[in-house]
Amino acid sequence: MDNVNVVRHPLIQAKLSKLRDRDTGRFQFRLILEELTALMVYEITRDFPVQRISVRTPLETMEGVELARPVVLVPILRAGIVMLDGVLSLIPNAKVGHVGVFRDAESLQPVEYFVKLPPDLGEALVIVVDPMLATGGTAAHAVSMVRQRGASDVRFLCLVAAPEGVRAFRRVHPEVPIHTAALDRQLDEHGYILPGLGDAGDRLFGT
Ligand code: URA
């Protein structure tokens, strides 16, 4: 599929298998989800531009680098919030915006209930995160919210995607790259991903 990057690193695939396992408890689920996010971020930031800086080691001055553009991380509430620490462990000075969008259980349409974003989105590299890309409605809506507020360089990071969700997202945002650890088979009649990992929010928060 166009503009979809499935990261097949062995560590990522091994951790994802553990996350999928129904016997993985809440505490471990949360830890693995954070670790997996950090590994994914390491992979997907390879093309981030850097700028040269001067660094003084204890012995002499040398040329080093730093990220050239600010990074803004936008977790989609509520499961996306747990991915935050995974990203911040690698990019600690990233700014964080929040968007609250949930999927109406009957219509499966996105409903917006909260938005708070940093002001300078135009120059930032924006990563919108949610563990699951299911119908694609919520993710597409969240990315639209971010773009309407000035973001021009946006990528979407999830851990498990469904083909239906990728196609729906693509129709709205053909140029926004999707990074995922897995592209699963299909959605069931309730909008859950098969084989998937169940309801990420419920497994994280015990709801
Ligand atoms: N959201 C989830 O948490 N799991 C799915 O399978 C689909 C959407």
Task: Indicate the domain borders of the chain.
Answer: 4-205
Rg (CA), the chain: 17
CA distance 11 to 43: 12
Q: What is the CATH number of domain 4-205?
A: 3.40.50.2020
Atom of ligand 1 nearest to the CA of 201: 3
Q: Is the CB of 162 under 6 A from ligand 1?
A: no
For atom 7 of ligand 1, the residue with the nearest CA is: 192
Q: Is the CB of 192 under 6 A from ligand 1?
A: yes
Ligand 1 pocket mutation pick from 16, 192, 197, 204 by most atoms within 8 angstroms of CB = 192
pLDDT score of 120? 86
pLDDT score of 1? 76
- 125-136, pLDDT tens digit by residue? 999 999 999 999
Instruction: Match 């919210």 to its residue by tokens.
Output: 145
For atom 4 of ligand 1, the residue with the nearest CA is: 199
pLDDT score of 132? 97
For atom 5 of ligand 1, the residue with the nearest CA is: 192
* Strands 50-56 and 4-6, sheet pairing: unpaired
Q: Is the CB of 112 under 6 A from ligand 1?
A: no
Q: Is the CB of 200 under 6 A from ligand 1?
A: yes
Q: pTM for the full model?
A: 0.93
CA distance 185 to 150: 34
Q: Is the CB of 193 under 6 A from ligand 1?
A: yes
**Residue at 18: amino acid letter:** K
pLDDT score of 158? 98
Ligand 1 pocket mutation pick from 81, 132, 169 by most atoms within 8 angstroms of CB = 132
Q: What are phi and psi of 56, to 5 degrees?
A: -100, 110
CA distance 86 to 35: 6
All residue ranges of the chain with pLDDT < 70 are none
